[in-house]
Amino acid sequence: MSSYLLSNGSVFTSKGELISSDIIVCGDSVEFLGRGCAGHSFPSSIVDISGYTVFPGFTDVHVHFREPGFSYKETIKSGTLAASRGGYTTVCTMPNLRPVPDSLCNLRQQLEIIKKDAVITVLPYGAISVGEEGKTLSNMEELAPYVAAFSDDGRGVQSEEIMLLAMQRAKKLKKIIVAHCEDNSLLAGGYIHDGEYARLHKHKGICSKSEWGQVERDLRLAAKTGCAYHVCHISCKESVELIRQAKRAGMDVTCETAPHYLLLDENDLKEDGRFKMNPPLRTKADREALIEGVCDGTIDMIATDHAPHSSEEKGKGLKESLMGIVGIETSFSLLYTFLVKKGVITLDKLIKLLHENPNRRFGIGKPFENGKSASFTVFDLNKEYIIDPSEFLSKGRSTPFEGMKVFGKCKMTVAGGKIAWQDNLIKS
């Protein structure tokens, strides 16, 4: 369907305005028509979106789609379908794959799968180091034209010398260093936060300094090199304050957090692998500091860190399960229900966190305006539903939000003019 009309909906524009407008999709561009434009030549295919809201397509700068190398966990096809069902039209995929995209030869395997199977835009990260081992820099020069940025996500770069060299190289290449901040020397075998729950239930804990200590180190190196620097999935109050101070000093730094760190803390933990992720859920004070960071602009964007594993890998309790949860199909609904509807942030703020800010930082896409990108998503904001992992399009099923009631159901997602997801909506 190359040309079709969406009628009777509300459109949330790139200017943060909610307008009543029919929109026509022709190829990969959109046109806002206003309501009931007499004399306009409409296509034969019409989508009635009465009562629904159209948003710019969301961007998730932190996902794990596991292919190549671990397709039993997720594939580019299943991951992008899941993303489109969550309202996402662009994702950036992390490099902890097999082979690791540390050379153009290795990256090409992933690019070929993306070209063949992706239903939305997929932008891969290149690895900072060979094999993500933190010992030798990857071939950043040959990778640079093909990647969103550079990261060794899943592992912190332990060597200050390697991180310094990476930042210097990235600066020359005009690329961002995207850092998973984790000091292995402080982990002490831990697998949940080193807090009250760990002590009461006799679990080994991970201290917050394992995260913020590397944030502090990297900010010092970024100040020295002038490198554009982005911090992944911050989870503790110290990280928020360090980044806040760096921004005040004029540094080129941004950061993300994830829905689970904003909505849950260690008081919500259960003896179940679906509550195990890295970094872990921390304290109520940390969660409140993250919300404050979202509200005051210290935290630039919300990413899901969508990290699927098999049911066997996640079914071994807090101690033995692998780290990582899924979230790309539920993130908007959760954030809309528990932040927007409760008055913590505005809807405009949420769209900035999910669309405008990540796109601007990573140079992604075109604005959702007349004559431009036909990448958008349609939601029924009044639809209440219960999160049921058995309905996920992702191969992953492990979410701490299972069984929660939320508002906001995705009805349709269009990426580059092509329908990536629809919920019994299109009627010719």
Q: What is the pLDDT of residues 263-275, one digit of tens each?
A: 999 999 999 999 9
Sign of CA dihedral 357, 360, 363, 367: positive
- What is 3-54+371-397+406-422's CATH superfamily? Urease, subunit C, domain 1 (2.30.40.10)
| Equal CATH topology for 3-54+371-397+406-422 and 57-362 | no
Q: Worst-scoring range by mean pLDDT, 73-82, 153-162, 263-272, 417-426? A: 417-426
Neighbour count for residue 322 (Cβ, 10 Å): 17
For 55, the token pair is 């948003």
The pLDDT assigned to 29 comes to: 85
Catalytic residue from among 183, 305, 380, 388: 305
The pLDDT assigned to 428 comes to: 41
State yes or no: is 286 an active-site residue. no
- What is 57-362's CATH superfamily? Metal-dependent hydrolases (3.20.20.140)
Query: Rg of the chain over CA atoms, in angstroms?
Result: 21
Asked whether the predicted pLDDT for residue 427 surpasses 60, the reply is no
Q: Worst-scoring range by mean pLDDT, 174-183, 339-348, 371-380? A: 371-380
Query: Closest Cα to residue 134, out of 70, 181, 65, 69?
Result: 181
For residues 131-139, give the mean pLDDT: 98
| Domain locations along the chain | 3-54+371-397+406-422, 57-362
For residues 87-100, give the mean pLDDT: 98
Distance between CA atoms of residues 119 and 108, nearest Å? 18
pTM for the model: 0.96
Confidence category of residue 47, pLDDT binned at 50, 70, 90: confident
Q: What strands lie across the sheet with 253-257, from one edge to the other?
A: 126-127, 150-151, 177-179, 229-231, 253-257, 301-302
For 161, the token pair is 């010398």
For residues 66-86, give the mean pLDDT: 98
